[in-house]
Every structure is written in C-alpha cells, then in structure tokens.
C-alpha cells in the first residue's frame, strides 16, 4: 500500500511531555481507545497529529519550532505531533462548559429538561470565547499543516472539534476533510437544549467535511435527520447530504480494537499479578462492570438491578459477586461528582441489605487501574454493559476477547456495540432495572454450551473486525469522495 500523508486532529493527542529529574524531556504515551484504534494508520502512513497541549512541557513544545516534534508510537512507528496551546480560560470554557457537560449530555440524552440545562451568559461566553476560539486555534494549525502537505486528508475526531472543519473549509475550499464522531447523535428536538445559533453552528461545522463518520447506522441516520431538521440539508434517506452546494457523505464504521495488543496485555506480568489477587478473592460467579463513573454508563441502575437479582433469586446470595471497576471521571464537573456520590450510595445500600461477614455482594473499586481491568476481563462470568447511551463501548469488545471463562455479555440496546454484538448478548433496556435483574439471572444460568457458542462468536467478530479494517474503511470513504489525496 502506498504511504500517504495524513493529518489527524483530536483534542487529546497520543503523547504528552514532561520533565524528568535531570531536566530532560520525558514522554508519556497515551493508551486511550482512539490512539489504539489509529495505530494501524500511524504504522502505514505519514501522519501529523494535531492535539491540545495539556502539560506545561506540552506548552513549551508548542512554543518551539512551530509546535511540532517527531515522535514514535509504543511499537515504534514514527509520526509527527503538533501541539496547540490554548488560552487557559478559553480552554476551560471549551472543555468544562461546552464539551462537558453540555455536548456530552445532549448527545447522551442525560439532561432532564424539566430543570437542566440552564443556558446562561456563562454558557454563551464559553461557546463564543471558548469553543469557537479553541476550534479556531485548531483550524489555524490545520491550515498551516495543509500548506506544508497540500492535499493531505484531514481527519477530525469527536465532539470537541465540531467547528474546526468549517473554519478550515472557509480558508482552504478544496481541502479533503473527514470527521469521526465517537458518541451518539441526538435528534433535532433534543438539540433544542442549546439555542438555535449553537445547534446550527454544530451541524454546519460538521457538514463542512467531505465525510462524517459514526460508529453505527443508528447514529448516522439520526445525524442525517438532524441535519435536515436543523439546517435544511437534503437527502435524509440516502448516505449523502447536500448542503451549501456541496455533497457530504455520512457513513458508519464501528471502531475496533487491536486483538494482538490485548492478547499481549492479557499475558503481561502486571495483568497476571492483578489476576492472581482477583482469583484469590473471587466469588463462585463473577459479575463484572468496567466503566468510567460517567452518568451515561448507568452504574447506579446496574447496582439496583443486582440488588433485585439477589432479592428475587436468593440462590445467588453468597455465591455471586459484582465487581465494579470504575474510573473516576470529570470530577470537576458538578454533575459527575453528584453521580459518583449516587454510585457509592447505591452500592452501599445493596451491601447493607444483603452482605454477610463472609460475602460482599458489590465490590466497588473507584480507581484508574487498567491492568486490574484486563485481569477482570479474563475472569468474569457475566459482563454488564447497561449504558444509558454509548457511541460504541469498547469494554464490550475488549473484555470478551480476552475472557477465559466463556463469560456472557449483558448489553444495553443503547450501546453502539449492540448493532454488532446484539445477536450473541443478553439484551437489556438501560432504564428497566427489573429486566436487567432477569437478564443477569439468565446470563448466570445459561447452559455451558450456549455460553461457549456465544463467547466464541463474539471473539471471532472482534478479531475479524479489527482496527486495521476500521482505518481502511475510512480511507476508502475518502477515496470515494473522488479527490484522492496525495498518494
């Protein structure tokens, strides 16, 4: 395959820099799902990755030599990183007021419109002086990089960057632009949570791309309808939209994981050490959940459902335990801090009601400990993914891949992963705690052969639909635009 020059743009980049004890520059390589999924891209093409400067040292890098450095991924692929420094107040409005909670809450439908959101002058200012301003800074960096590599396709990622494509398009009308949205889309009525000017700007920004991608057919369809309702874009039922004299392809390609990386991780020393500790204390059957403490992940209803399971099916008492490995998330946003408190209350209520000296029903661990999570992936009998809404949910792919007990996946109908894996999962409605309790019981009592059949099917699907395939599909979308890029 020909190497191409490509520009990737995301808020959080693949590396962040610091200073070691002797003043030397140190590199922290991020391991998020996006970085993992894009690794095949970095391995095969010449990528410049534009991202926000996060640390002091990042800002120092951003101030040097045009803010760009040559670096390598963990497995040695070279890439160029360009860090963009933002005014701290602008970044705060962009990140902590507009992107989280507003856009995240709108797109995961977490607002109870009776009381929230309240759109006030703080939001208006954060939109104008934060989100728009940070997107402008990103767009300026993209335009400079395009001038270094004319014709290089640009891949924008996620909900932090809805405005940047329009600003790039205005400056470079012939640029080849693609945007991948990693979270669900909402219908136009839900988008009335923000004033007309804001929701129009969001949709207009995305429609400045040549390709807009989502994880599922469902989110792509919702976006096409919303683009029609909010902006009058034409072509709702087909895969393209016509808007402002241009054609935009709306596609869906589910993000994937790197099976080899997970196999390696699962066999690593750190994971095996964590696994030994887990095995020593594990219940007869282990129900696992691994999430951030984000309200969209729905941990509270999950504990309620687990309590109902123990109430209705006493045979599980003393034998089944729920292990909840929750990474604390965005605790400087009040909605998230409140939700973590509710998680702790609900877990304690189940333990108070059913726990004994010999048995802890809910083992809640709030920490960021990835090796422990992978160890638990190997050990679960039932994995509960009951998200309120979720663009994809990578846990539903990662955990079954490395699981060694033919564990059963209980999966929310509102997780993007359900479009791929629903046939082999026990499906739950995220709001129906009664149904979730029955689904856990069904999963715990599924015959061994059926467990194996389903687990194997999921593993085969996840192995086959890997990150390289996800990347190739997106490059094919770009080629289909007909401009080709600089091959």
Q: Tell me which residues touch a second copy (CB under 8 A).
A: 108-121, 123-124, 184, 186-187, 189-190, 192-196, 218, 222, 225, 236-237, 295-296, 300-301, 304, 308, 335, 339, 342, 388-389, 413-414, 429-435
Q: How far is CA 124 from the centre of its chain?
A: 26
DSSP state of 392: -
Which residues lie below 8 Å from residue 215, measured CB to CB, with a gap of 6+? 182, 252, 253, 254, 255, 391, 392, 416, 419
Taking the complex as a whole, the smallest distance from the CB of residue 82 to a second copy amounts, in Å, to 36
If one counts every other C-beta atom within 10 angstroms of the C-beta of residue 53, the result is 22
Q: Which is nearer to a second copy, 119 or 468 (CB)?
A: 119
Let me know: does 176 contact 6? Beta carbons within 8 Å.
Answer: no
Least Å distance, CB 356 to a second copy, is 25
Q: Which residue in the block uniquely carries the two structure tokens 């670096």?
A: 71
Q: Which is nearer to a second copy, 71 or 346 (CB)?
A: 346
Q: Name which of 331 and 487 has its Cβ closer to a second copy.
A: 331
Residue (197 or 460) nearer to a second copy, CB: 197
Separation of first and last alpha carbons in the chain: 10
β-strands 177-180, 211-214: how paired? parallel
Min CB(129)–a second copy separation in Å: 15
Closest by Cα among 420, 394, 383 to 302: 383
Quote the CA–CA distance of 36 and 84 in Å, as a whole number.
22
- Is 435 exposed, middle or buried, given 0-12, 13-18 or 19+ CB atoms closer than 10 A? middle
Measured from the CB atom, the residue of 118 and 448 that comes closer to a second copy is 118
Instruction: Report in angstroms how near the CB of residue 382 gets to a second copy at its nearest.
Output: 20
State how far Cα 355 lies from the chain centre. 34
Question: Nearer Cβ to a second copy, position 353 or 453?
Answer: 353
Smallest Cα–Cα separation from 165: which of 179, 148, 186? 179
> What is the closest distance, in whole angstroms, from the C-beta atom of residue 28 to a second copy in the complex?
32
Which residues touch 112 (CB under 8 Å, ≥6 apart)?
none
User: Is 17 or 123 the residue whose CB approaches a second copy more closely?
Assistant: 123
Other CB atoms within a 10 A radius of the CB of residue 128 amount to 15
Closer of 195 and 484 to a second copy (Cβ): 195
Q: Which helix (H) or strand (E) holds 49?
A: strand 46-52
In the complex, the smallest distance separating the C-beta of residue 187 from a second copy, rounded to whole angstroms, is 4
Query: What six digits make up the tokens of 205?
Result: 């920004």
**Structure tokens that stand for 220 in this block:** 């792509």
C-alpha 285/C-alpha 316 separation (Å) is 9
For 384-403, b/e burial (b = at least 16 CB within 10 A) is bbbbbbbbbbbbbbbbbbbb
C-alpha–C-alpha distance, residues 162 and 325, integer Å: 32
Q: Which is nearer to a second copy, 123 or 262 (CB)?
A: 123
Minimum distance between the CB of residue 245 and a second copy, rounded to whole angstroms?
A: 23
Q: Are 39 and 8 in contact (CB under 8 A)?
A: no
Q: What minimum distance in Å lies between the beta carbon of 119 and a second copy?
A: 4
Considering the complex, state which of residue 416 and residue 485 has its C-beta at the smaller distance from a second copy: 416
Question: Which of these, 257, 319, 282, lies nearest to 40 by C-alpha position?
Answer: 257
- Kindly state the smallest distance separating residue 479's Cβ from a second copy, in Å: 31
Nearer to a second copy, 170 or 189 (CB): 189
**Least distance to a second copy, CB of residue 415, Å:** 11
Residue 93: CB minimum distance to a second copy, A: 15
């Amino acid at each position: 395959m020909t190497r191409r020059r490509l520009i990737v743009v995301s808020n959080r980049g693949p590396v962040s820099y610091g200073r070691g004890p002797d003043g030397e520059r140190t590199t922290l390589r991020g391991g998020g799902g996006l970085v993992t999924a894009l690794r095949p891209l970095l391995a095969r093409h010449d990528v410049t990755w534009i991202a926000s400067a996060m640390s002091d040292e990042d800002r120092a890098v951003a101030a040097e030599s045009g803010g760009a450095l040559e670096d390598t991924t963990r497995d040695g692929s070279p890439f160029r990183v360009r860090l963009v420094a933002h005014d701290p107040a602008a970044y705060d409005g962009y990140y902590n007021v507009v992107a989280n909670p507003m856009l995240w809450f709108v797109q995961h439908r977490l607002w109870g419109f009776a009381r929230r959101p309240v759109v006030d002058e703080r939001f208006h200012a954060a939109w104008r002086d934060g989100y728009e301003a940070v997107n402008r800074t990103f767009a300026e960096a993209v335009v400079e990089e395009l001038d270094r590599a004319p014709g290089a396709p640009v891949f924008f990622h996620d909900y932090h960057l809805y405005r940047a494509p329009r600003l790039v398009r205005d400056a470079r009308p012939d640029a080849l632009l693609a945007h991948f949205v990693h979270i669900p889309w909402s219908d136009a009525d839900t988008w009335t949570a923000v004033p007309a000017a804001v929701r129009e700007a969001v949709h207009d920004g995305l429609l400045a791309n040549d390709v807009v991608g989502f994880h599922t057919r469902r989110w792509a369809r919702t976006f096409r309808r919303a683009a029609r309702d909010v902006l009058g874009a034409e072509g709702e039922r087909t895969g393209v939209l016509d808007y402002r004299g241009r054609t935009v392809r709306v596609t869906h390609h589910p993000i994937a994981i790197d099976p080899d990386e997970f196999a390696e991780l699962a066999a690593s020393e750190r994971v095996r050490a964590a696994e030994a500790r887990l095995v020593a204390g594990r219940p007869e059957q282990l129900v696992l959940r691994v999430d951030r403490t984000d309200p969209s992940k729905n941990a509270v209803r999950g504990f309620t459902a687990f309590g109902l399971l123990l109430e209705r099916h006493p045979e599980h008492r003393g034998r089944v335990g729920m292990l909840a490995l929750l990474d604390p998330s965005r605790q400087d946003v009040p909605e998230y801090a409140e939700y973590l408190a509710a998680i702790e209350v609900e877990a304690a209520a189940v333990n108070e009601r059913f726990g004994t000296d010999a048995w802890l029903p809910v083992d809640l661990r709030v920490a960021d400990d990835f090796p422990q999570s992978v160890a638990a992936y190997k050990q679960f009998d039932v994995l509960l993914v009951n998200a309120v809404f979720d663009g994809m949910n990578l846990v539903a792919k990662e955990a079954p891949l490395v699981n060694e007990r033919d564990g059963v996946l209980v999966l929310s109908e509102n997780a993007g992963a359900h479009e791929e894996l629903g046939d082999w999962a026990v499906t739950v409605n995220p709001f129906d705690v009664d149904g979730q309790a029955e689904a856990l019981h069904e999963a715990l009592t599924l015959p061994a052969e059926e467990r194996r059949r389903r687990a194997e099917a999921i593993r085969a699907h996840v192995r086959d639909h890997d990150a390289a395939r996800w990347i190739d599909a997106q490059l094919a979308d770009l080629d289909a635009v007909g401009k080709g890029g600089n091959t």
